[in-house]
Every structure is written in C-alpha cells, then in structure tokens.
Amino acid sequence: MVAPLKVGIAGLGTVGAEVVRLIETQARVLASRSGRGIRVVAVTARSKAKKRGVDLRGVEWVKDPMALATHPGIDCFVELMGGAGDPALSAVEAALSAGKSVVTANKALLAKHGLKLAKAAEKHGGALNFEAAVGAAIPVIKTLREGLAGTGINRVYGILNGTCNYILTRMEQEGLSFAECLKDAQRLGYAEANPSFDVDGHDTAQKLAILASLAFGTKVAQSAVYVEGISSIAPEDLRAADDLGYRLKLLGVAVRTAKGIEQRVHPTMVPKSSSIAQVMGVTNAVTIDGEGIPPITLVGPGAGGAATASAVVADIADVARGIRANPFGRPISQLHDTKKAPMERHEGGYYIRLLARDFPGTAAAIATRLAEQKISIESIVQRHPNGGAAPANGKAVPVPVILITYATHEDAVRRALAAVQRDKVISGRPQVIRIEKN
C-alpha cells in the first residue's frame, strides 16, 4: 500500500484554509484519482489563534515557514503566503533544496525568481507546480505545458485581471467613469485600497510573463513586457467601441513575430464576435492560437478562495501521482533570453479619438499628416456636439473625431499624431487604443 502524501501548508488565509477543507472533504476522491491518500500534516501562519473555519486538530503547528519547508515529516510544501521576496522565496528555495515538491499560487515570486526556482526543482528532483498563479481555476498552465506540448504556439492572450475587467464592464454597461467604477470595485472588495498594481497593468504583466515562457520557451522576464493600464479610458471610448463593433478589454498579449516574441499589456479593442469579448465582470479568459488548430479559449474565475484552492489541490494531486513536469515546459538550459520588444515596431490596427478644433482646414490637416506616414483609414466617425447646432455663446466647440486605421506601425501613428498636435488643430492629447483581431 502506498503511503499518503504528507503536505505542509504555509499561509492559512482564505486560500490556505480552503485548501485544508478541500483535502479533508474530498479525501476519497483525491485518493482514488491520485493513487494514494493526501494528508495535511503541518501548517504555519502568522496567527495560531485566528478562527479559520477548518478543523486543524491533529495537524502540527510549525513556528515559521522555513521550519516547515525543511520539516522531515512533509513531502510537499505548499506556499500560500504571497510576495516576491522573503519569507516565501527562502522557504520555497529551502523546500526544493531538500528534495521536496512545491506547490504555489504566487505569481509575483514566479515572475521574479521562477528560473532560479525551476533550476532548483530540476536539480533536486522535486516538482514545482503553480497552476493557481495564473487564472486560478482556469487550467491554462497545464494546457500550455502538457496538453499542447506537441503544438507550436503563435499567440497567447487574455483577460488576466478580474478587477480591470469588472471596471471596464461597469463602464460599458452603465456609462460610468473610471473613477466611479474603481470606487465601487473597492467597496465591493474587487479592488485593493491601493489599486495601482491591478489597474496599471502590473498584475497582468506578471501573469503574461509566465504564460509567454510556457508558450514560447523564453526565460520568464516581467521586464520584457510593455505595460499600459486602464486609467485613461473614458466612457466615450466604450461607446465608440460599441458603435464600431468592438469591446474594450485590458489584455495581456504574447505573440510570435518575425522580430521575436512581443509581450504587451494594454487596453485593447476586440471584435464583439470574438470569444474573449463575451467575458464580462470579474471573470478571466485566455485564448491560445496554435498551429493547425482553431483558437482555444479557456474561461473561468480568475481569483477567489475556492477557485484558487481548486487549482492548488489539483497541483498537489499531480505531486501525489508522481508527475514531475518541467516547470516551464522545457529544461532550464533550453529556455532562451527575451528582450522587451519596442512598441514602435508593433503592427496592427488602431482606434484614435481626437478633439478636433472646428476650424476650416482641420480635417485636411489631420488627413495630410496621416497620409504622410502612409496610414490608411478604415472608418471615420465625427460626432458634432449638440447635434451640430451652433453653441449658444458663439464659440467653436472641439468636435470628437474617431478614426479606425488599417494595419500600420505604431511609430507611424505616433509621428502622425505628434505632427497633428504641432499643427494645433486638436485640443488635448489624442486617445490611442490598439486593436487585436481574431
């Protein structure tokens, strides 16, 4: 009879407590699927006295994460403390060096130290599993690492942050401003008191760096990701997107190009007909474009205690089965360097919103500057305020002009708009949003 897998858990917050509960309530199913039992034998957390709603009788309480990581009585160390540095980093390193397997949901740790940790797992023979780090219950890590091991990947992109998707959904459906939606998201617990990590795109960038490594065999490098957030998005952008057949999402995109792997996070117009456009609220989604197969879209809850714990327990079950996949899909020696692709080289369609001054020659000046950069316009929409009626005070009011371009290069768009601003035929700064086709 095979001995049960003995698990130690560091961190007993919402996710950690739910992992303990799942292992207890699903014990028979897990044993049947894994070929052996799974038992939580030791834990550690900041407070022993805190009520967590799970039965920890018979479970050893260890004084700190390092002591748990090197505990001779555990086979698998589960890190649920979070953070890119200590104590998570030192504890995971210690567990791997001791030959133990590690399961973590810590995207920040993997984005910064993933290569070093994968090398330690490779050297000492333990598993390093992190399905919950990207998309929580969405099995995108396993899909890229194992399910599509024989498929060349051309592009992986998705909605990787529920906070941003919730805000953009509310802005679209209710016509609210970014500030109004953010305040409500904070009230409901979807956004942190300091939301910049989410709304400025950095959370998505960490997750994208992990996905790009799995998809393209690159070394994990968050510094190689171009990042823009959603704070500049206005209700009029969402209305225009709707009128033009698009929906606005914050996407993380990693794509193979002739110049290398392009990794970028930014607000993006996606066709309403696309699968990813249908994903609303706090839900996450990832689309994978592989050679010889139609695009695959995985949709599900990207955060939350139950969803994250589900992925953590699935990783623990893989350890119990004896599965030892390369953490990033290939041996560390075969992962190659990647550099930050200059966005000036990006090629695609663009949404451009200008506030054009209502003077003779304005339209001609804009058209001339675009033509100089060989930018072709797919559509143009001009929205006269007050239905085109003359303003009561007799002063000219800037006219919103919305342009959709055919595929062009970003540096051409930037040069054209800089020239338009120098011509003083528009008010304020142009709004530029990239378009991602199916």
- Whether the CA torsion 6, 322, 298, 28 is positive or negative: it is negative
Strand 260-271 relative to strand 296-301: parallel, antiparallel, unpaired? Answer: unpaired
CA 33 to chain centre: 30
3-class SS at 166? helix
Q: Are 101 and 122 in contact (CB under 8 A)?
A: no
Using DSSP's 3-state secondary structure scheme, residue 229 falls into coil
Give the 3-state secondary structure of residue 372.
Answer: helix
Contacts of 179 (CB under 8 A, 6+ apart): none
Query: One of 119, 207, 249, 437 is an active-site residue; which one?
Result: 207
**171 Cβ partners below 8 Å, 6+ apart?**
177, 178, 181, 233, 235, 238
Residue corresponding to tokens 């768009």: 413
Q: What type of residue is 107? A: K
Would residue 207 show up in a list of annotated catalytic residues for this protein?
yes
R_g (Cα) of the chain, nearest Å: 25
Catalytic positions: 207
